[in-house]
Amino acid sequence: MGRVSIYCDKLCFTACLILYIQLASSQKSSFASANSTEAEALLKWKASFQNQTQNNLTSWVNANEAPCNTWIGVSCNSAGSVNRLNLTNSSIQGTLLEFPFMSLPNLAYVDLSLNELFDQIPPEISSLTKLIYFDISYNQMSGKIPPEIGLLTNLQVLHLNANKFNGSIPQEIGQLKFVYELALNLNNLEGSIPASVGNLSQLTSLILFGNQLSGSIPPEIGNLSKLVELHLYDNYLSGPIPLSVGNLKNLTIMVLYNNTLSGSIPTSFGNLTNLVYLSVYGNKLSGTIPEEIGNLKFVEEVHLAANRFSGYLPRDICSGGLLQRFTAENNEFTGPIPKSLKGCKSLVRVRLQGNQLKSNISEDFGVYPNLQFVDLSHNNLYGEISDIWGQCPNLTTLRFAGNNLTGSIPSEIANANNIQELDFSLNHLVGVVPKDLGRLTSMVNLKLNGNQLLGSIPSEFGAFTQLDSLDMSTNKLNGSIPSIFGELISLNYLNLSNNNFSQEIPFQLGKLFHLSQLDLSRNSLDGKIPSEISNMQSLEGLNLSHNNLSGLIPATFVGMHGLSYIDVSYNHLQGPIPNNKAFQDVHNFEGNEGLCGNVVGLESCNKHVSKKKLVFAIIFPILGAVLLALLAIVFIKTRRKKEPGTEKSDIHDEIFSISHFDGKKLYREIIRATNGFDSIFCIGKGGSGSVYKAKLPSGSIVAVKKLHQKLDGEETLQKEFHKEISALINIRHRNIVKLCGFCSNSQHSFLVYEYLEKGSLASILSKEDEAKELDWSRRVRIVKGVAHALSYLHHDCVSPIVHRDLSSSNILLDYDYEPCVSDFGTAKLLNPDSSNWSSLAGTYGYVAPELAYTRKVTEKCDVYSFGVLALEVITGKRLGDLISSFSSPSVCENKLLNDVLDQRLPPPTLEVEHELTTIARVAITCRDSRPQSRPTMHMVSQSLSFQTAASTGGPDITLEQLIKI
Ligand X SMILES: *[C@@H]1O[C@H](CO)[C@@H](O)[C@H](O)[C@H]1NC(C)=O
Q: How far is the CB of 113 from ligand X (least distance, A)?
A: 8
Task: Say whether residue 32 binds ligand X (CB under 6 A).
Answer: yes
Task: Say whether residue 726 binds ligand X (CB under 6 A).
Answer: no
385 Cβ contact list (under 8 Å, min separation 6) = 361, 362, 400, 405, 407, 409, 410, 413, 424, 429
Task: Say whether residue 50 binds ligand X (CB under 6 A).
Answer: yes
The one among 22, 25, 56, 657 contacting ligand X by CB under 6 A: 56
Query: Of the two residues 50 and 417, which places its CB atom closer to ligand X in the complex?
Result: 50
Q: How far is the CB of 59 from ligand X (least distance, A)?
A: 11
436 Cβ contact list (under 8 Å, min separation 6) = 411, 413, 414, 460
The one among 39, 41, 57, 76 contacting ligand X by CB under 6 A: 76
SS3 category, 373 = strand
The one among 83, 89, 161, 331 contacting ligand X by CB under 6 A: 89
Q: How far is the CB of 76 from ligand X (least distance, A)?
A: 4
Q: How far is the CB of 54 from ligand X (least distance, A)?
A: 5
Task: Say whether residue 771 binds ligand X (CB under 6 A).
Answer: no
Query: Of the two residues 64 and 598, which places its CB atom closer to ligand X in the complex?
Result: 64
Query: Of the two residues 461 and 886, which places its CB atom closer to ligand X in the complex?
Result: 886
The one among 63, 80, 334, 602 contacting ligand X by CB under 6 A: 80
The one among 109, 178, 677, 681 contacting ligand X by CB under 6 A: 109
Query: Of the two residues 86 and 355, which places its CB atom closer to ligand X in the complex?
Result: 86
* Among the listed residues 789, 783, 663, 669, the one whose alpha carbon sits nearest the alpha carbon of residue 734: 789
Task: Say whether residue 48 binds ligand X (CB under 6 A).
Answer: no
Give the pairing of strands 133-135 and 157-159.
parallel
Paired residues of 406 in beta bridges: 384
User: How far from chain centre, in Å, is Cα 642?
Assistant: 51
* Among the listed residues 243, 193, 237, 253, the one whose alpha carbon sits nearest the alpha carbon of residue 218: 193
CA distances (Å), origin 381, targets 202, 402, 585: 49, 9, 42
Query: Of the two residues 66 and 629, which places its CB atom closer to ligand X in the complex?
Result: 66
* Rounded Cα distance, 149 and 194, in Å: 14
Number of shown-chain residues binding ligand X (CB under 6 A): 24
- Do the Cβ atoms of 175 and 199 come closer than 8 Å? yes
Task: Say whether residue 843 binds ligand X (CB under 6 A).
Answer: no
* Rounded Cα distance, 703 and 789, in Å: 20
The one among 37, 45, 74, 86 contacting ligand X by CB under 6 A: 86
Q: Is 527 exposed, middle or buried (0-12, 13-18, 19+ CB in 10 A)?
A: middle
SS3 category, 545 = coil
- Do the Cβ atoms of 221 and 245 come closer than 8 Å? yes
Query: Of the two residues 51 and 356, which places its CB atom closer to ligand X in the complex?
Result: 51
Query: Of the two residues 69 and 839, which places its CB atom closer to ligand X in the complex?
Result: 69
Query: From the CB of residue 206, how many other CB atoms can be counted at a distance below 10 Å?
Result: 23
* Among the listed residues 377, 591, 539, 179, the one whose alpha carbon sits nearest the alpha carbon of residue 169: 179
Question: Can you say whether the dihedral through the CA atoms of 650, 655, 661, 663 is positive or negative?
Answer: negative
The one among 66, 432, 797, 896 contacting ligand X by CB under 6 A: 66
Angle made by CA atoms 500, 587, 572, in degrees to the nearest 5: 50
* Rounded Cα distance, 356 and 379, in Å: 5
* Rounded Cα distance, 893 and 184, in Å: 14
The one among 14, 48, 51, 604 contacting ligand X by CB under 6 A: 51
Q: State the residue number with the nearest CB to ligand X.
A: 80
Among the listed ranges 87-95, 366-374, 700-708, 815-823, the one in contact with ligand X (CB under 6 A) is: 87-95
Q: How far is the CB of 885 from ligand X (least distance, A)?
A: 9
Please give the helix or strand (H or E) that residue 104 lies within, else none: none
Among the listed ranges 48-56, 217-225, 263-271, 816-824, the one in contact with ligand X (CB under 6 A) is: 48-56
Site string (876-915) toward ligand X, x via CB under 6 A: -----------xx-x-------------------------
Query: From the CB of residue 767, how many other CB atoms can be counted at a distance below 10 Å?
Result: 10
65 Cβ contact list (under 8 Å, min separation 6) = 39
Q: Is 938 exposed, middle or buried (0-12, 13-18, 19+ CB in 10 A)?
A: middle
DSSP codes of every residue in 775-815: -HHHHHHHHHHHHHHHHIIIIISSS----S---GGGEEE-T
The one among 38, 71, 100, 111 contacting ligand X by CB under 6 A: 111
Q: The sheet that has 356-357: what strands, in order across it? A: 238-239, 260-263, 284-287, 308-312, 332-335, 356-357
Among the listed ranges 83-91, 424-432, 462-470, 750-758, the one in contact with ligand X (CB under 6 A) is: 83-91
Q: How far is the CB of 109 from ligand X (least distance, A)?
A: 5
The one among 45, 133, 326, 846 contacting ligand X by CB under 6 A: 133
Q: How far is the CB of 708 from ligand X (least distance, A)?
A: 25
Task: Say whether residue 140 binds ligand X (CB under 6 A).
Answer: no
* Rounded Cα distance, 565 and 516, in Å: 11
Q: How far is the CB of 895 from ligand X (least distance, A)?
A: 14
Please give the helix or strand (H or E) that residue 285 lies within, else none: strand 284-287
Among the listed ranges 47-55, 413-421, 509-517, 831-839, the one in contact with ligand X (CB under 6 A) is: 47-55
Q: How far is the CB of 959 from ligand X (least distance, A)?
A: 16
Among the listed ranges 85-93, 505-513, 643-651, 736-744, the one in contact with ligand X (CB under 6 A) is: 85-93
Query: Of the two residues 405 and 959, which places its CB atom closer to ligand X in the complex?
Result: 959
* Rounded Cα distance, 63 and 68, in Å: 11
Q: Is 805 a catalytic residue?
A: yes
Task: Say whether residue 35 binds ligand X (CB under 6 A).
Answer: yes
The one among 25, 26, 91, 466 contacting ligand X by CB under 6 A: 91
* Rounded Cα distance, 207 and 184, in Å: 6
Q: How far is the CB of 65 from ligand X (least distance, A)?
A: 7
Please indicate if the annotation marks 637 as binding a ligand: no
Catalytic residue among 234, 423, 805, 928: 805
* DSSP code at position 402: S
Task: Say whether residue 54 binds ligand X (CB under 6 A).
Answer: yes
Query: Of the two residues 135 and 823, which places its CB atom closer to ligand X in the complex?
Result: 135
Q: How far is the CB of 88 from ligand X (least distance, A)?
A: 5
Task: Say whether residue 46 binds ligand X (CB under 6 A).
Answer: no
The one among 41, 42, 49, 90 contacting ligand X by CB under 6 A: 90
Query: Of the two residues 159 and 794, which places its CB atom closer to ligand X in the complex?
Result: 159
Among the listed ranges 86-94, 204-212, 415-423, 637-645, the one in contact with ligand X (CB under 6 A) is: 86-94
Question: Can you say whether the dihedral through the CA atoms of 83, 88, 92, 93 is positive or negative?
Answer: positive
Query: Of the two residues 92 and 265, which places its CB atom closer to ligand X in the complex?
Result: 92
Task: Say whether residue 31 binds ligand X (CB under 6 A).
Answer: yes
Among the listed ranges 46-54, 435-443, 511-519, 912-920, the one in contact with ligand X (CB under 6 A) is: 46-54
Paired residues of 533 in beta bridges: none
Q: How far is the CB of 108 from ligand X (least distance, A)?
A: 9
Query: Of the two residues 107 and 582, which places its CB atom closer to ligand X in the complex?
Result: 107
* Rounded Cα distance, 657 and 646, in Å: 20
Active site residues: 805
Q: Which residues are annotated binding-site positions for ATP?
A: 706
Binding site members: 706
Chain residues that interact with ligand X, rule: CB under 6 A: 30-32, 35, 50-51, 54, 56, 66, 68, 76, 80, 86, 88-91, 93, 109, 111, 133, 887-888, 890
